[in-house]
Amino acid sequence: MKIAQRLHYRTWREDRLFEETLAFLTAHKDAVDEITLFSSNTTDGTSGDDADTLRRQREDLPILRRRIEAFRHAGFTSVGINVLFTLGHIDESEEPKNPLPFQKIVGYRGDMSNICNCPSDEDFLQFTEEKYALYASVKPDFLWVDDDIKVFWNGVKFGCFCPKCLSGFNAANGFSYTRESLVAEMEKPENNDLRGLWVRDISGRITKLLRRIGDAVRSVDPSIRLGFMTQRQSWSTYNGMDFPAWFTALGAEMGRPGEGCYFDALPEDLMTKTFSTAQQAYEYPDTVTDIQYELENFPIHTWQKSMTTAAAELSLAAAAGMNGVLLNNANEFIGLRGQDRLYDRIARERICWKDYLEAGSGLKCGGFYPAFSLKYDQRRTMEPGESFFTTLEQAEKHDVTRTYALSRMGLPITMQKTGAWGVILTGNLSQGYTDEELLEMFRGPVIVAGNAVEALERRGFEKYLGVRSAGSGSIGLFEEIEPGDPVNRELLDIPLRNVHPAFFGDGGHWFTAASEGVRTVSFMKEQGGSTLGIATSLYENELGGRVCVLGYAPFHMQNDLSRFLQLSAIQTWLLGDRETVKLLTPGRTALFVREGEKCAEAAVLNLTMDVQESVEVSVRGNVQGWLCTPEGKKPLCGKMLEGSTLFDLGPAAPYEVRFLITKTK
């Protein structure tokens, strides 16, 4: 796995700090392969004399050239530039201070960014071409375009509605909208087609910008590799998220999926970042062969993350199938001072990552896919009183990240749609798919959250679910287990599940049977004792698919032994013979799976602050197994049980990942 290091503008610009950082990285060459230099000092491209102007860039070029050559002389064969500022990330000041005389992004309410530039401004596009050409002139090995290429949050929300953008949209579609009239029409629930046109138009503006950047770089030196950083889909798909068109227009072979995880106060945020970045990575076109997960500690204060957390992040990147990482942990004033132990650990543990990724080359990631379409904002319907201009994470029914909670109970999740064992549907996210796409999902294993049932009913899918909506509520609800169902056979002494929603939020949906053959796994009860309906159901539909509907707090407070045992049994029923790898040891543990015809891999993360004395995993078939360690691969002695081979991976320290490689005998 490639390890790249990103360095702040001041780190290479100031002589003393550069020499100190160069010496540090040279001493740790066994931990770092590639060097990436930030092009500017701030995320908004401004700061007094540091303003991101062509004059300042020209002044930097001789220094940049010397720094690149110095790193190459020290033995780093890949050294490039990360252009931090293109459109602009966010307004970091309330006072307009951007000296660039271009149209700024205008939000849907008419407010205008102080800093961030409109991608439709021809003067801005010409400036951007010259800017990237200047950076290309110092002969870096690569250039990164950062993730400010978006218009749903650049100082103002949901742009760009400036006169230039409106004129282009109207001309392309034969309209005559003003900003006010267009926004008013887009806010009407029935105008799906208009919203889809607008989102695709935004995507086209981004495609045009990236093509201009790529052409500018190639006009100087076609050998320079290009990279593009993206944002997570679950933040918003307002940009259109046409990754194939964007990467192709830029000519990028490097991709960096973005997601925030800056501190380790909530260590399980690592899981959200892992899945969100993997989701982007698997949507990249095949031409993107260098995918770098970013260890981002912004604003990079000394004790934001422990060494344990950082190592876990990099291990999870390998577990999710990414083949590189970018370390963004160099402080702008002290560089990498004091971080020797982290780099020693990276040098040691990267042997595990290398063995795991090499053995898994060409394998698919197994598990359940949290279904989320890049076309969601182009297709989704709206309810009366709902605004289209809302980031998806702000409303539960649009929030796919909630589904990631199931991974904490050992249920494998994959962001690779091709080869997924089954899918997870939540909220209104089914609206991002056509009927044909949904039918294909229901031909296999499906986990459906209770809040997704009504949206599916409106599409006529209740006959595939096996249940129909009967009600919903919040406080005063608990779940009573049906002892007669086989998936509850280990729960006979645990008769109910109560997350106490009056204290901790959430609640549930309950249902009635819509088809014969529906199995009731649990009932929804209210505090007074009344039975409201079915809370959890299992059903094998006419398409041959197996469906589990989770009505009670499906993704909330997944931290209980009974929940682990029940979900484990439900997973086995849903998958049958498709369950190739399974976590057997109960605990708050995440399992990542990669599999092929004759081999399979498992990566297991201990999500607690306690040592797990042993972690046992089963792999279908009679297989050989090896544990990946910093000393190399070590053979494991497995034992056969009911057609699977059981492996004990040994103890797992807090937030440690254990890597297993297997091969059919």
CB count in 10 Å sphere of residue 527? 11
pLDDT of residue 250: 98
pLDDT of residue 566: 95
- The DSSP string of 370-411 is E---TTHHHH----TT--S---GGGSGGG-GGGGGGGGGBT-
Q: Which domains does the chain have, with CATH numbers?
A: 366-578 (3.40.50), 589-664 (2.60.40.1180)
Pick from 660, 662, 658, 657: which is nearest to 271 by CA?
657
pLDDT of residue 49: 44
Quick check: bond before 160 cis, omega within 30? yes
pLDDT of residue 389: 95
Backbone angles phi, psi at 535, to 5 degrees: -100, -45
On whether the CB atoms of residues 625 and 594 are closer than 8 A, the answer is: no
Mean pLDDT by 10 residues, the chain (665 residues): 96 96 98 96 54 85 97 98 93 68 95 93 96 97 97 93 97 98 97 97 98 98 98 92 97 96 87 95 96 93 91 94 95 94 96 94 95 95 91 86 95 94 97 97 98 96 96 94 93 87 91 96 94 98 98 93 95 94 96 94 95 96 96 96 95 96 95
pLDDT of residue 51: 61
d(CA 317, CA 305): 17
Q: What is the pTM of this model?
A: 0.95
On whether the CB atoms of residues 455 and 428 are closer than 8 A, the answer is: yes
Tokens linked to 212 = 């201009």
User: What b/e sequence results for 357-381 when a residue is b if at least 16 CB atoms lie within 10 Å of its CB, and e otherwise?
Assistant: bebbeebbbbbbbbbbbbbbbbbbe
Helix axis angle for 307-319 and 340-359, nearest 10°, is 20
